[in-house]
Amino acid sequence: MQSNEEKKEPLIAEDLLVQNLKQKATQSKAFEQLVDTYKERLYWHIRRIVLDHDDTDDVLQNTFVKVFRNIDGFKGESKLYSWMYRIATNEALQFLKSKSRKLGVGMAEIQERMVENLRADVYFDGDVIQLRLQQAIASLPEKQKMVFNMKYFEAMKYEEISDILDTSVGALKASYHLAVKKIEASLKED
């Protein structure tokens, strides 16, 4: 888990970055900077949702394509990274729904399969306890899972999560509390 101090911050002011992304003359360089600044944070956010490295790379690429295509629609009502996290979250969830339809199984079964696939994933270097934690997280309802991942692994503030998930801080606190209790119970029964 990265601490807040380790998170890459934009090298230039966010509003200037957005302005450069919206102008043809500076768009290419600004997009490179955007990708360099946010790719790792977005990768891990997506990875915690889809669990598989290759799937994460696909979703991350789709996320940046959507950001690039829709930057003119960004109004600056939230932080740029909050907007991108929202896109990444939606892309990851859409990916899972699509995978579920293709395989003809429910979302719960997709989650179970993904956790089982972690054992064989060469990019997963976790131990038995981390695998059990991932299984417990995968069993959570979608909203609780998102809130838990953002708060626990990404150390995001409730206000930031509220911007991304468009949910009140109070509801997020309740979701996080419920998620922690369910994870604790799941780990105790194993």
Sorted by where each begins, the domain ranges of the chain are: 4-189
Confidence (pLDDT) at 147: 94
Exposed/middle/buried for residue 168 (C-beta within 10 Å: 0-12, 13-18, 19+): exposed
**Model-wide pTM > 0.85:** no
Quickly state the pLDDT bin for 5 (edges 50, 70, 90): very low
Phi, psi of 3 (to 5 degrees): -85, 170
- Are residues 48 and 88 in contact, defined by beta-carbon separation less than 8 angstroms? no
Residue range 64-71: mean pLDDT, rounded: 96
What kind of architecture, by CATH, is found in domain 4-189?
A: Orthogonal Bundle (1.10)
